[in-house]
Amino acid sequence: MADGTGTKVRITRQLLASGASRNGGWSKEQLGLLGVTWPPKRGWVRRIVGKWIDEEAVIEFFNLANQHLDQE
C-alpha cells in the first residue's frame, strides 16, 4: 500500500482508462487508492481528475485492474 513518501502522479482520464478492468470498471480497492469512497457517487471522475496521488498508489491501482474479476 502507498505510504505517502514517493513521487506524485496527476490523475487523468487516461490513467483511469488504463487501470480499468477488461470489463471497463474499477474495484472498491482501486477507487479507494484514488481517494474515492464506496459506493462511488455520481461525478466522482470529474472530482478526482487533476488531483495528485503517490506513484506507489498508481502502481497498485494498475496491479489490481482485473483481480476482482479473477476472484469470481
Can you read off the three cell numbers belonging to residue 72? 469470481
Task: List, for the chain, all residue ranges whose pLDDT scores fall below the cut of 70.
Answer: 1-5, 71-72
Biggest alpha carbon–alpha carbon distance for the chain: 34
Write down the pLDDT at residue 1. Answer: 47
Cβ–Cβ under 8 Å, residues 64 and 28: no
